[in-house]
Amino acid sequence: MTSSVTLLPGRQVIAVTESESILDAALRAGINLPHSCKGGHCASCRARILSGAVRYPSDLPPGLTPQEQAEGFALLCQARPASAELTIEVRQTHTPVADTQVRSIPCRIEHMTPLAPDVMEVRLRLPQSEVFTFIAGQYIDIMLPGSRRRSFSLANPPHDAGQLELHVRRVRGGEFTQQLFESMKEKMLLRIEGPLGQFAFREDSVRPALLVGGGTGYAPLRAMLRSLLERGDTRPLHLYWGAATQADLYAEPEIRQWLTQYPNLQYTPVLSAPPADWSGRSGLVHAAVLADHPRLADFDIYAAGPPAMIEAIRHEFVAAGLPRDQLFFDSFDYAPDALAKLKAAGVAP
Ligand SMILES: Cc1cc2nc3c(=O)[nH]c(=O)nc-3n(C[C@H](O)[C@H](O)[C@H](O)COP(=O)(O)OP(=O)(O)OC[C@H]3O[C@@H](n4cnc5c(N)ncnc54)[C@H](O)[C@@H]3O)c2cc1C
Ligand code: FES
In this predicted structure, the answer to whether residue 169 has a pLDDT above a threshold of 90 is: yes
Mean pLDDT of 88-117: 82
More confident residue, 319 or 11: 319
What predicted TM-score, i.e. pTM, was given to this entire model?
0.86
Return the amino acid letter for 338. Answer: A
Residues 9 and 74 in one domain: yes
Q: Relative to the CA of 43, which ligand 2 atom is closest?
A: 1
Contact 151 CB / ligand 1 (< 6 Å): yes
Structural domain range at position 154:
97-198
The domain that holds 123 is classified in CATH as 2.40.30.10
pLDDT value, residue 336: 67
User: Which residue is closest in CA terms to ligand 1's atom 31?
Assistant: 174
Q: Relative to the CA of 40, which ligand 2 atom is closest?
A: 1
pLDDT value, residue 297: 97
pLDDT value, residue 218: 98
CA of 21 to the centre of ligand 2 (A): 11
Supply the mean pLDDT for the chain.
Answer: 91
The total of structural domains in the chain comes to: 3
Q: In the structure, what pLDDT confidence band is assigned to residue 97 with cuts at 50, 70 and 90?
A: low
Q: In the structure, what pLDDT confidence band is assigned to residue 93 with cuts at 50, 70 and 90?
A: low
Contact 63 CB / ligand 2 (< 6 Å): yes
Q: Relative to the CA of 144, which ligand 1 atom is closest?
A: 25
Contact 38 CB / ligand 2 (< 6 Å): yes
Burial per residue of 87-125, b for 16 or more beta-carbon CB atoms within 10 angstroms, e otherwise:
bbebeeeebbbeebebeebebebbebeebbebbbbbbbe
pLDDT value, residue 198: 83
Residues 37 and 123 in one domain: no
CA of 192 to the centre of ligand 1 (A): 16
Contact 177 CB / ligand 1 (< 6 Å): yes
Mutate to test the pocket of ligand 1, among 23, 121, 152, 179 (most ligand atoms within 8 A of CB): 152
In this predicted structure, the answer to whether residue 95 has a pLDDT above a threshold of 90 is: no
In this predicted structure, the answer to whether residue 98 has a pLDDT above a threshold of 80 is: no
Burial per residue of 181-213, b for 16 or more beta-carbon CB atoms within 10 angstroms, e otherwise:
beebeeeeebebbbbbbbbbbbeeeeeebbbbb
pLDDT value, residue 19: 86
In this predicted structure, the answer to whether residue 163 has a pLDDT above a threshold of 70 is: yes
In this predicted structure, the answer to whether residue 177 has a pLDDT above a threshold of 70 is: yes
- For residue range 73-87, list pLDDT tens digits in order: 999 999 999 999 999
Q: Could you say which of 77, 92, 107 is where a domain stops?
A: 92
Q: Relative to the CA of 45, which ligand 2 atom is closest?
A: 2
Q: Could you say which of 60, 92, 124 is where a domain stops?
A: 92
Residues 45 and 110 in one domain: no
